[in-house]
Amino acid sequence: MNDEELDGVWATLQPTVRRRQRIDARVFAWLEARVTPLAAEWLGLFRSAPISAAGLGAVGALSTITAPPLFWLAGALI
């Protein structure tokens, strides 16, 4: 859902100020309940798909190592 769709739905609902505050409170509570530390996300990934998690870790390490030289090369070519 993008911003235009959200604005359209919001305009259709036309909530009062009190209802808008309740909706905002529920949305923020839901978002905060879903926030987890990055380490917990990685541990969950290792539990569910250890090979995929190891692959993602390797790709992340490789990109960290190769990114600076690639950025330098791109800057030199421009």
What pLDDT is recorded for position 1? 63
Asked whether residue 24 falls in the same domain as residue 54, the answer is no
Asked whether residue 42 falls in the same domain as residue 28, the answer is no
Instruction: Count up the domains in the chain and report the number.
Output: 2
In order along its 78 residues, the chain shows pLDDT tens digits of 677 777 777 777 777 778 878 887 887 777 777 666 776 776 776 677 777 777 777 878 888 888 888 788 888 888
What pLDDT is recorded for position 76? 87
Q: How many CB atoms lie within 10 A of CB 57?
A: 13
* The model's pTM: 0.34
Asked whether residue 55 falls in the same domain as residue 69, the answer is yes
**Rounded Cα gap, residues 54 and 56, in angstroms:** 5
Asked whether residue 29 falls in the same domain as residue 55, the answer is no
**Rounded Cα gap, residues 15 and 30, in angstroms:** 19
Total number of residues shown for the chain: 78
